[in-house]
Amino acid sequence: MLHLECYMYLWDPQHKKDADLMEQDQRRAIKTIWVLENFSYEDSLRELEFFSLEKRRLQQDFIAAFQYLKVSCKKVGEELFTWSDSDRVKENNVKLREKRFKLDVRKEFLTQ
């Protein structure tokens, strides 16, 4: 089981065909675990505390976006977002708060 977990984030396919092949390989690998042979694929993933490949890619995209914002808010994004320390956020006391900004951006351009 550790072998499956080690390669969890190894590759992020760009094409649907490659993603389907990876999902097929993951299904085949999970079927080899004899304890889970009577479970459906989704139940096996839940039992192993794994996510489907699509959910893992989405999770990694969110993590990458958060890390990008964390760095860029210190630089360029400071005029759009601020860090808010809030006790109301579960398990994470860091939250982005939108600053006020004007929606009349056309006044800032030369052509009207």
Tokens 């052509």 belong to residue: 111
Write out the chain's pLDDT in tens, 112 residues: 444 544 444 556 677 787 788 888 888 888 888 777 788 888 888 888 877 777 888 888 888 888 777 776 565 555 555 656 666 655 555 666 666 656 665 555 555 4
CA–CA dist 87, 93 (Å, integer): 6
- Measured CA to CA, the distance from residue 74 to residue 99 in angstroms comes to 14
pTM to 2 decimals?
0.45
Domain ranges of the chain: 2-98
Q: Six-digit token pair at 10?
A: 């190894």
What is the per-residue pLDDT for 69?
72
